Each structure stands twice: as C-alpha cells, then as structure tokens.
Structure 1
Amino acid sequence: MPSYPHYAVTHIHLDKQPHLPALTYQGQGNYLVYWWKEIALGHSFIEPNHSLTEETYRAALLKAIKPTIEHYAAHTKANVEKWQAWLAAGETASWSAWLDTLLTPWMPASIPAQVPVTVIICTRNRAATLKLCLESLAQMTCQPAEVIIVDNAPQDDSTEKVAAAFANVRYVVEPKPGLSYARNTGVKQARYDIIAFTDDDVLVHPEWVYRVWETFQDKQVYAMTGLVIASELETEAQQIFERHWTFNRGYLDVAYDQAYFKRVEAAGPPVWELGAGANNAFRKEVFDKVGYFDERLGAGASGCSEDSEMWFRILVSGDTVQYNPRAVVHHTHRKQLSELKRQIYAYMRGFAAAALIQQDQHPAAGYSKQLWYMPKYYASLLKRGFPRFNFRSRTLWVEMKGIVSGVNFYYKHRNRPPQLPA
C-alpha cells in the first residue's frame, strides 16, 4: 500500500511576506494559499520532497494568482503590462504597490461591528467541533445579529451546553432527523432578512459575515456561496477529497444568472459546482418564493444535495446565485478513508436523487442524460484505476453504489411532495 505524506497548509500574506517563506520539504508536501491582506488569490500544491528556490517559488506564485489578478484588473481596467515582469524579477516594491492599488476597491475602508444577518449552524452530536466553530464566529471583526444552533435529533445535552456558553447564540431543537428538517427549522426561526449557513466543522474568516452581507447589497442576488479552503491535508482521505471532491470553487467572482442557466440548461445544470453547504446564504424572502429545503434530500435522507437543489430552484425562478470568493471559511475534511467513503456514498446517492427530482421540476433540464452516461463514465474510471485502485480510485465502488441507491431512493419517494412555504 503506497504511503501518502501529509501536506502542510501554509497561508502566505503577500503584503507582509513577498518572498519565499521558510518551508519543510523532506517527507511532506506543501499546500500554499496566497493572500493579499484579507483577499485570497490562489493556491499551489508543492509535491513531497520537491523544494523551491526563490525563482521557482515566484513561478508557482504567478501561475496560481494570475487568473485572479487578471479578473480583478478587468473590473478596474488597470494596466497589467508590467506586474508579471516585476514579480518574475523579484521587484517586490513595485509589484506590491501595484497590487495594493488594484485590490483596494475590494477592501472596505471600515467594517461595521454588526450586520443584520442570521447565522444558522445545523449540528448533531458534534459538540467539540461546534465549540471551535462558535469560537471562530465570536472572533469575527463583524458580528451577525443572531446565531441559531439547530440541534437535530440530539442524543444528549452536550450541544445545548456548548451553545449556552456563547452570547448571542439561540439554541433550537429539531426532533425530526435530517439536515433539511434542521435547515427549515432554522429558516423559520430566523429574525433577519439574510440567512447564512455554515457547518460545525468549519472555522470562519474574520470578515466572513461582513462579506456575506456585502454580497446581498446587490438586489439581484437571492443566494450566495463563498470560498471554502481546506484547514488541513494530513491524511490520504483529506488529500483525496481536496484533489478530487474539493469544496473550493476558486478565487473569481461568478454570477450564476439567467444567462448561465440558459447555457447549461439542456445538459443538466451542474448546480453542485456553485458552492458548498458549508458556506452559503439566502435572502429570507426566497423561501417564500420557491419553497423550503426539500426534506427528501440532505444528510439523514437521500444523503446530500439539499443545498444545490435549492440553488436550482432559485435559478429556475429567474434569480441569481452569486459566488463571492472574499467570503471565506476553512473546512476540516474527513480524516479516515472509511469516513470519506461514507461521505462520498452519501454525495452520489444525494446527487442521483436530486438530479431526478430536478428533472421532474424542470423537464427541459438534461439530468436524465447525465445519469444514462454514468455507466460509461465509471467504466473508464475503473479501467484507469485497475488493478491497484489507489487514491482517486479508492472510492469508485461506493460512488457507483451511491448512484444506484439514489435512483432507488428517488423512485421510492418521488410522490412525496416537497415542503411549501408556510
């Protein structure tokens, strides 16, 4: 069995450290995340035992951040002729001054102490990780107006005790097991017009809630997703997930609007690519428009996709889902391969069930074509992984089982109506 050295996660703030940082190369890899102040710009995987010189570091940095820099420059019509040459030549003073000018419009001059946002965390029997999440929320530069903990079918009072230790946290029990039940309970309890969801295994960036609120200042936006960065890459399971199933949707702003929907409609809109449930938010009024989370979907039911199915309905209704990479959280992936396999099984089960549900909702969507293509797709992956089935191939069997189970789940539950607005 091959060994998979861990990757050390290093966050490099280029405004403070423009040169190659001190890294360990022997026996480990390095995952470098590049920032300019509070704006994430890109990342690099440096493979185990592969060392960097100042020159090769600048080349890796340029490759990682070039799309992001060009994205921001396109919005400001900045002169982009010289910055790459400055970076390649190590002219840090010129490059840093230019980059600061470029990104200043996206850095708020001041941040309010509080914004009218409800943060909802749905949890079940994970008090220790929840405590860490709430501690990170409490340390944010800008605070939400309220935090709601929805304890889903709890087995003890450990979650309630954790919630009681934090100010501005409201504890609610949802006795019916299932993430969508818990999410819907949180929505109904929310007192504010912007509702943000994160998970109990997440640590939030200090500006996260402010950036969520900022996104909804555009009145065309009815939902948003944000950047999810891996907290650690210590184990093979965590590396498999980040390499092949990542929550990280990149560092560029993307408006998923009607133009996007029309482009992808016939092939089956890949709404799972819009973001992750660990970092997403909604206008509360959208639930009155399109309904609540489908309780057939999500953990405790189909297994996954209650969030992406909601984004699908929002797109079908003609509204926009905005991806904002400045709204950042850090996620701890499953450490053990057995945990990863259960997770991926649930993902594929939920994907298949949601795809068929979405096909019912909007017959013009081509999800049935995707499912018919799956046997051919997995045949190619099996051929590629044979005979060792290492790394990416380790989850192939549970993926296929999950898809079959999801189709069966759909046919068993397809006549159960989704929950409508109250």
Structure 2
Amino acid sequence: MNPHIRISLVVATYNRSAALVELLRSVAAQRLDPALWECVVVDNRSTDDTAARFEAFSREHPDLPLRRIYEPKQGLSHARNAGIAASRGEIVAIVDDDERINPDFLTAYVELFDSRPDAASAGGKVIPVYETGRPHWMSLYTEKPIANPTDWGGRVRPFPDGHIPAGGNMAFRRSALERCGLFNPDLGRIGDRLIGGEESDLFARLRRAGEPCYYTPGAVIEHIIPARKLTRDYFDRLCYNIGVSQRIRADLDGRTGRLFLGEGMKWGAALLLAAGYLFMLRPAKARRLLGMRRQITRGILG
C-alpha cells in the first residue's frame, strides 16, 4: 500500500459512459491534494464507449490520479470488490456512476476517519436531482427505493440505529473490510437485473462485529435520476427485486419467519398511510405506495 494515498475512490460502471464523465468532472474538482487520493474506475464489461471516453478524460487531466481496471465478472458486487482489491488507500470510498460529488467529498471522509479512530465505516448526504422534475405520485416512502435521499443533519454523528449509508455514498476503513469481508457476489445488480441487498449485508456484518458507523454531512453526492427510472414499469421491477433481495438475505441468515412478520407489519403501516393520502386528496401517492408494497411482497414470496 502506498503510504501517501489516504483515500481511494472506487466507481463501478456499466454502459453509462456519459454519466461516468459527468462524475469524473466532479472528481477532478476535488480540493484534496491529488497526492493523497486516487480514483479507480471499474469497467464491468461495458459494451459502449466507456473505455474510450475514460481515456480521453484522463488525457485531458494528466495530473489527476485516475485509473481504469476491467472486471469481466458481471455484477456490481464483483466490480466493487475488484476496485477495492486494486485500490491502495487506507480509506475506501464508494460512489456510483450516476452521481456528482461535492468538491470537499474526499476531504470530509479523510477528516471523519482521522477524527474518529473507532470509525469502521461512514456515509454522507444524498441529494436527488430529477432530470424531468419530481413526479406528482412520489412520496417520502416511494422516493427511497429510487433515490434513497439521506440527510441526518449538519454535524458528524453515529449513524442512526436501523439505518445504513446509501450504497452510492459510503466509505470504509480498509482494515474493517479485511476483518469483516467484502460484498457478497450473490447479491447486488448484475447487468440490468435489479437485485440489491449487498450493502445491507455488508453493514449487517460490520454491525454484528461491533464496528462503528458514522454520518458525515461534508460528504455530499447528487444522485441523478433520469426519466426512465420514473416509469411505472421500472418502479415495479425495482420494488419486486427489493423483495427478492430481502428473501435471499433472510434465507442466508435464517430469519425468513421474521421477514414475513415484518412484511405484515409494513402492510398495516402502508394501508394507514394510503388512507391518509386519500383523505388529503392525493390518490396517486396512495396508489403508488400500495403498488410498491405489493411488488415487494411478490418478490419475497416469489
């Protein structure tokens, strides 16, 4: 490990070359000394012009510590694990290729881990940016699976109980990953397959090992949401696969019964919330909320 590299930024990408370049522009604007960081882009078998556009960007920014590696095993968990293995920093930050990071993103994570020697992991703020505007049917509850907005205030604090950092804005002390393991390749997106749960699985292992997780408001990402992710078909597929992911994790952990019990309780809450939206004359919010619950339940049972 290069002792001068404090933090490695790992980005997995698959067939989103234009979005990747937008992210890299925000990486190029980092205020942290380039001698202290690196950015590892993991090309997960892209078939578009990702390689060419990355090389062009690198030539335009020869002083930036940018690297691209190729991971032939399809899947987000495979790609992230490859990026972690190829990186050299004592801290590993992970973002997605459909985001922009603020200029002090890397600085915030370095300062967090320096000021909290017990910190094993951390997460920051997530701000959704809707290219075509926030849809009228969206509520606080139906926004979470699409954009996962995250804001726990303006000070560093332990991550609240029952919550974990967003998958597109999380960081780890490398030693904690060495103790608790990386992402489970049985979970996580594979190509266009919307399976998830790999972050929840990793943070559950860290939590069981007693590894503290902190929130830092200085690490901010904008999550870019295109129109195609706001269609009914995409939302239904996403929610169905959330249910599939929850069932896989429950089966692996031997807690399937608890999953079914919890889903029943969530149905009760969803019905009460939907009734409230109907009372406020917001039927679209009620319909989409109940549709989300139905698709998640289908995924669990399927």
Show the counterpart of 2:61.
none
1:161–1:298 Cα change, 3 Å: same
State yes or no: 1:235 paired with 2:138.
no
Partner Cα distance (2:88, 2:8) in 1: 7
1:291–1:146 Cα change, 3 Å: same
Paired residue secondary structure (2:167): coil
Paired residue secondary structure (2:135): helix
AA aligned opposite 1:163? F
Show the counterpart of 1:285.
175
Partner Cα distance (1:133, 1:284) in 2: 23
Aligned residues: 281
Paired residue secondary structure (1:131): helix
Q: Match for 2:299 among 405, 409, 422?
A: 405
Q: Match for 1:255 among 158, 179, 202?
A: 158
Partner Cα distance (2:31, 2:135) in 1: 33
Q: Match for 1:181 among 58, 63, 78?
A: 78
Q: Match for 1:224 among 122, 134, 143?
A: 122
Contact 1:298 1:305 in 2 (8 A): yes
AA aligned opposite 1:126? R
- Measure how far apart 1:311 and its partner are: 1.1
Identity %: 21
Q: Match for 1:163 among 47, 50, 54?
A: 54
- Measure how far apart 1:237 and its partner are: 3.4
Contact 1:345 1:402 in 2 (8 A): no
Show the counterpart of 1:133.
23
- Measure how far apart 1:381 and its partner are: 4.8
Show the counterpart of 1:97.
none
Partner Cα distance (2:212, 2:244) in 1: 24
1:192–1:132 Cα change, 3 Å: same
Q: Match for 2:203 among 311, 330, 340?
A: 311
Moved more, 170-179 or 117-126: 170-179
1:347–1:395 Cα change, 3 Å: same
Paired residue secondary structure (1:209): helix
The C-alpha deviation readout for 1:9-45, integer Å capped at 9, x for no partner, is xxxxxxxxxxxxxxxxxxxxxxxxxxxxxxxxxxxxx
Show the counterpart of 1:60.
none
Relative contact order (alpha carbons < 8 A, sep ≥ 6): 1 or 2 greater?
2
Partner Cα distance (1:277, 1:340) in 2: 23
Q: Match for 2:223 among 331, 340, 351?
A: 331
AA aligned opposite 2:213? V
The C-alpha deviation readout for 1:325-358, integer Å capped at 9, x for no partner, is 1211222124346447525642563356346625
Q: TM-score, normalised by structure 2?
A: 0.79
Show the counterpart of 1:390.
284
Partner Cα distance (1:317, 1:249) in 2: 25
Partner Cα distance (1:277, 1:330) in 2: 13
State yes or no: 1:373 paired with 2:270.
no
Show the counterpart of 1:80.
none
The structure that has the greater radius of gyration is: 1
1:289–1:403 Cα change, 3 Å: farther
Moved more, 146-155 or 313-322: 146-155
| Structure 1: 5+ residue stretches without partners | 1-113, 261-269, 409-422
